[in-house]
A and B are shown apart, each in its own frame.
Chain A
């Protein structure tokens, strides 16, 4: 009970984010009310980053000690990261349909998101094609570390250089305090923390399910 405080916190923060996300005043800019998508789309995007970084760290840790439970954390973190990634793309597509007139446009940032999903889906397929548990964990960890690096280059470095993105936040991230309206700040940051904590919560549940399955199989 006492260890679960962060799960309650996640629920409270998300409830706050969703309710106030719809009633808080947003500045009157070109994209008008669709700016509220920031609380959802960008929050999920940060959730995905947190999950994929967790997966990367646990893959590194697995290669140090070959502890099987660290491999389980890595794979479930990537699973939840994929889920957040697809949700982020989906919320972005709804927004893009109103703002740009099409759900998908050719843009470095959107390409980075799509490629990230392909890379991590390939990770799942790679794991599925190896039967031996230890070999799967080891090869999976190597791929995850290798892929994470190349994906970071694609998603963080290349769009900056391309300079032709129409996605918001081209020059400097809109979520930085100096770029975000004060009334939005007080909703966005709690919502972002809520999404990240929700990610860890789902990951936690999935890890427990997987461990129970392993126990049943034994």
Chain B
């Protein structure tokens, strides 16, 4: 019991430092972050021009999640290739693998939360507000950010072990992220249609289960990817 507490405590400290490192790294190389932001804004603008007045709640919903998926894949794919293998070896000697993956997921969660809120505000600005049930939509954004960050961080870790990992990231992540994305789109469709919260409990439970299970799987499986 005591030992368990100590390891959790150590994880906590390690995660705190590693997340801090991720943030400092991102702020040091601002062009990466700026690149993702520009990608997000220009994609939304292109779809805005392409669709002109033809935006129904249904298309609004699909466009929003598809754009967010592409932004997420682009933003998270760098997670394990940004730093040199030598640096990874250094982290390997000083931190536990569990702390590394949890800190990456946590950092990507921050990133995705910010990006999804930005995407939402740009959608409001350019395509008008189609969301009826705003609290539910925001809840979907939170669960979606967590889900996308955990699934895609794990896929990025897998893809980083192979060559040509940028094209591989897309091939691996699109089918694997679909269960999550389909559920998210279903919940957010209902947020666009009515104020009604009934009938959603099943879908929300599924979303939370996917999130918890993916994080648990990442926690258990990442050590095998980490050591060569």
The interface of chain A, by Cβ under 8 A from chain B, is 63, 111, 115, 118-119, 122, 125-126, 129-131, 135, 138-139, 141-143, 145-147, 149-151, 153-154, 157-158, 161-162
Would B158 and A142 count as touching, CB distance under 8 A? yes
Interface size range on B against A = 20 to 34
Consensus secondary structure, chain B interface: helix
* Total of A-B residue pairs, C-beta within 8 Å: 79
A-side contacts of B174, CB under 8 Å? 118
| Sample of 14 further A-B pairs with CB below 8 A, known A122-B171, A126-B162, A146-B154 | A118-B174, A125-B168, A130-B163, A131-B163, A145-B217, A145-B221, A146-B214, A147-B176, A149-B214, A150-B176, A150-B214, A157-B206, A158-B206, A161-B202
Cα A33 to Cα B172 with chains together (Å): 40
Minimum C-beta distance from B161 to chain A (A):
5
Minimum C-beta distance from B208 to chain A (A):
12
Known contacts A126-B158, A130-B161, A139-B158; A146/B221 CB under 8 A: yes
Would B224 and A122 count as touching, CB distance under 8 A? no
Would A135 and B183 count as touching, CB distance under 8 A? no
Known contacts A118-B175, A143-B158, A161-B202; A149/B213 CB under 8 A: yes
Would A138 and B224 count as touching, CB distance under 8 A? yes
Cα A142 to Cα B222 with chains together (Å): 8
**Residue from A119, A153, A157 whose CB has the most chain B CB atoms within 10 Å:** A153
Q: For the complex, is B225 an interface residue (Cβ under 8 Å from A)?
A: yes
Q: For the complex, is B13 an interface residue (Cβ under 8 Å from A)?
A: no
Would A158 and B182 count as touching, CB distance under 8 A? yes
